[in-house]
Amino acid sequence: MRLSIWPGAGQPYADMLEVARHAAGTGWDGVWVADHFMPNAAPGRDPLTPTLEAGSLVAALGASVPRVRIGTLVYGNTYRHPAVVANMAATVDHITGGRFTLGVGAGWQVNEHEQYGIELPPVKQLLDRFVEALQVLHGLLRQPATTLDGAYYRLAGAVCEPKPVQDPLPILIGGSGEKRMLRIVAEYADAWNTWGRPELIAHKSAVLDEHCAAVGREPKAIARTAQALTMVGGELPDDLPMPAIGGSVAKLTEDVEGYRAIGLDELIVPDRLLGTGADRLRAMDVIRGIVPV
């Protein structure tokens, strides 16, 4: 099972770089960056926390941090035209020497769309648009030229050059909706990601397997990745709004083994509960010791 770190973009770049370089130097497999412009407007969250932009971050980290895979978790489709994203992804793949994973999702965070005047359509249209965007990405990144006459995107003999170093550059899709989103994953993804503890990930993964069978795709062709808030030492707070693992080292070890037992390909660790500075680096070393290289 691969192990990756997810440094939050609401901290100074120097701190993110420290985390990423420590991961690269201590055997971690990847570094992921979220695509948001501000925190989600939710209870207990400061909506004014400064937040660094994902496309710039993956390019900077890719140029500065060796060895590990760099990825977006995940680009919101509503924020950029997919042809622009394809060119960004190909460029970052060249910057990293072929270590980039393009993570994409349909888009969801309401306050970002409201503040910037970006349309956030109803779910059906949002997913229809996302499917067309995936067709654009597959075409531009993997074909000499792409023509698409869609309801949302229109391309006429469009090119994306240079192509990525990787052939193909892996596309990860983030999402968990069992009826439509996991069907989209089965059709278009090289890797899949969602939040959850082992029991939920096992259930969602089984649903994804069913969709793969329906579309004639080998389930093992899609890597399974997941994350939960992670704590090393102490007790998990009762009021966490998202899935969480750990607390004591013994409990964290048990939770990690749960992911391994369900066949998870990659565990991604957000750094939100790991502390700061030297404390965070020590927590990363504990987690690295729990997940053997």
pLDDT of residue 15: 98
Read off the pLDDT of each residue in 93-101 and give the average, rounded to a whole number.
98
pTM over 0.85: yes
Read off the pLDDT of each residue in 82-94 and give the average, rounded to a whole number.
98
CA 126 to chain centre: 19
pLDDT of residue 101: 99
Q: Among 38-47, 70-79, 112-121, 173-182, where is mean pLDDT lowest?
A: 38-47
**Does domain 2-290 bear CATH number 3.40.1280.10?**
no
At a CB cut-off of 8 Å and minimum separation 6, what does 75 contact? Answer: 35, 54, 55, 85, 102, 103, 104, 105
Percent of the chain with pLDDT over 90: 94
pLDDT of residue 42: 73
For 19, 35, 140, 142, 182, the CA distances from 56, given in Å and listed in that order, are 17, 10, 21, 23, 29
1 band by pLDDT with thresholds 50, 70 and 90: very high
pLDDT at 206 over 90: yes
Quote the mean pLDDT of the chain.
Answer: 97
Q: How far apart are CA 102 and CA 126, in angstroms?
A: 19
pLDDT at 53 over 80: yes
Read off the pLDDT of each residue in 208-236 and give the average, rounded to a whole number.
97
pLDDT tens digits along 142-163: 999 999 999 999 999 999 999 9
Read off the pLDDT of each residue in 259-279 and give the average, rounded to a whole number.
98
45 band by pLDDT with thresholds 50, 70 and 90: confident
pLDDT of residue 48: 84
pLDDT of residue 68: 98
pLDDT at 43 over 80: no
pLDDT of residue 41: 81
**Assigned token pair, 126:** 């949002």
pLDDT of residue 270: 98
Torsion angles phi and psi, residue 162, rounded to 5? -75, 155
C-alpha angle 204/237/269, rounded to 5°?
50
**Is the bond leading into 162 cis (omega within 30 degrees of zero)?**
yes
pLDDT of residue 117: 96
Query: Domain segments of the chain: what residues?
Result: 2-290
pLDDT of residue 60: 98
Mark residue 41 as left, alpha or beta (left: phi above 0; alpha: psi -120 to 50; beta: remaining): beta
Of the candidates 287, 284, 286, the residue with the CA atom closest to the CA atom of residue 19: 284
Q: Among 114-118, 193-197, 289-293, where is mean pLDDT lowest?
A: 289-293
Q: How far apart are CA 17 and CA 70, in angstroms?
A: 12
pLDDT of residue 55: 98
For 37, 79, 124, 143, 224, the CA distances from 135, given in Å and listed in that order, are 26, 17, 17, 11, 21
Task: Tell me, letter by letter, the H, E, C secondary structure of the chain.
Answer: CEEEEECCCCCCHHHHHHHHHHHHHCCCCEEEECCCCCCCCCCCCCCCCCCCCHHHHHHHHHHHCCCCEEEECCEEHHHCCHHHHHHHHHHHHHHCCCCEEEEEECCCCHHHHHHHCCCCCCHHHHHHHHHHHHHHHHHHHHCCCEEEECCCCEEEEECCCCCCCCCCCCEEEECCCCCCHHHHHHHHCCEEEEECCHHHHHHHHHHHHHHHHHHCCCHHHCEEEEECEEEECCCCCCCCCCCEEEECHHHHHHHHHHHHHCCCCEEEEECCCCCCHHHHHHHHHHHHHHCCC
